[in-house]
Amino acid sequence: VQLVESGGGLVQAGDSVRLSCAASGFTGDDYAVGWFRQAPGKARQGVASFSTSDGTSYYADFGDGRFTASFDSAKKSVILEMRDVKPADTAVYYCAIDPGFHGSYRFKMWGLLSGSYDYWGQGTQVTVSL
């Protein structure tokens, strides 16, 4: 299983950022995706989770409605769009997946927990300046 994130970079506060997580190395289009971030000196935290089988998504409270996850089936990529970014959003962003996930009401409980996922991307840096 391979995951490749892209879309990070240096942006200004108030901008929008679009991150992509391209998955390969497994069959099927049903999987759970978690987006996480880690700022220097801080613990990794869950940002968003997304189920490609039914489009269910959950978001961390700190997002304040600014984050949206979606699925591009043609590219087998999960997208994380972040709007009105703030300097506090500066971090390395990672995607992680659980292949073969077909959806469950329990997803709400584990989707934002890093220990739920076995496969991780290399991370992409997002830096937000004032």
Q: What is the mean pLDDT of the chain?
A: 95
Pairwise CA distance, residues 44 & 37, whole Å: 6
What's the pLDDT tens digit per position in 38-92? 999 999 999 999 999 999 999 999 999 999 999 998 989 999 999 999 999 999 9
Closest listed residue to residue 87, CA positions, set 18, 39, 45, 21: 39
pLDDT category at 103 given cuts 50, 70, 90 is confident
